[in-house]
Amino acid sequence: MLILASQSPRRRELMAREGLDFTVVVRDTEEVHDASLPPEELCARNAAAKALAVAAEYPQATVIGADTLVFIDNTPLGKPADEAEAVAMLTRLQGRTHCVCTAVAVVMPDGSRRDFAEKSFVTFRPLTQEQIMHYMSLVHVYDKAGAYAIQEHGELIIESFEGDLDNVIGLPVKALVHKLHA
C-alpha cells in the first residue's frame, strides 16, 4: 500500500500522471519555520513529520511526505497568509532568481527511510505591480509556496528555470519513483 501524506492537489496530480496507485492520508503536523536552517534541512524536517505522522497509523504502508519552499536571500517563503503578503512575495521575487527546494521523506513498511531533496532555480521576469495584480487575478496564490505556480500562467511571470519542473510544481516524481524501486 502506497500513501501520500499530503493534501496538495499538485502532488496528487503528479503521482497520478506517473501511474502510481496510492491513497491520500493527511494528519495535522507542526511545520518548522526556522529560517536559520539550510533549505534541504528545513524542508526535510517538515516532510519527515508529515510522513511519520501517517506511518505511525499505517505501519504496513509505504508513506510519502513532502515539503516545498521557495528560498530567496536564504529566507524561506511559504504560503502567503493574505493578499498583502502574496504581493510582497511576488514583488520580492520579481526580476530575480530564487531556489525551490522540495524534500521527500519515504517511510518503508520495515521502518527504514529513503529521504531526499531536490533544488531547482527559477528566474522571474521584472514585473510591475499591475502585472503582479493581473497574475494574482488569474491564479489562486494562497496555497502556493512563494505565492505562485509555474504551471498556472507561469509564462506571465517566469523568465526561465533550471532543474526539474516537477520539483518546482511540488514533487520530483521521477526521483521519487527511483527511490521507491531502489
pLDDT band at 171 (very low <50, low <70, confident <90, very high): very high
pLDDT by residue (tens digit) across 35-58? 889 999 999 999 999 999 999 999
Please name each of the domains of the chain with its CATH number: 2-180 (3.90.950.10)
Q: Where are the alpha helices (DSSP H) in 83-172?
A: 83-93, 129-138, 165-169
List 21, 28, 34, 67, catalytic entry: 67
Percentage with pLDDT > 70 across the chain: 100
The model's pTM is 0.93
Other beta carbons within 10 angstroms of residue 61's beta carbon come to 19
Q: What is the dihedral of CA 40, 41, 44, 45, to 10 degrees?
A: -160
Determine the pLDDT at residue 168: 97
Determine the pLDDT at residue 35: 85
Residues 6+ positions from 62 with CB-CB distance below 8 Å: 1, 2, 3, 106, 107, 108, 109, 180
Percentage with pLDDT > 90 across the chain: 93
With beta carbons less than 8 A apart as the criterion, state whether 180 and 106 touch.
yes
Higher pLDDT, 92 or 74: 92
Bridge partners of 93? none
Other beta carbons within 10 angstroms of residue 56's beta carbon come to 11
Residues 6+ positions from 5 with CB-CB distance below 8 Å: 24, 25, 26, 27, 50, 51, 53, 54, 55, 63, 64, 65
d(CA 108, CA 71): 29
Residues 6+ positions from 55 with CB-CB distance below 8 Å: 5, 61, 63, 107
pLDDT by residue (tens digit) across 114-147? 999 999 999 999 999 999 999 999 999 999 999 9
166 is catalytic: no
Does position 74 have pLDDT exceeding 90, yes or no? no
d(CA 161, CA 62): 31
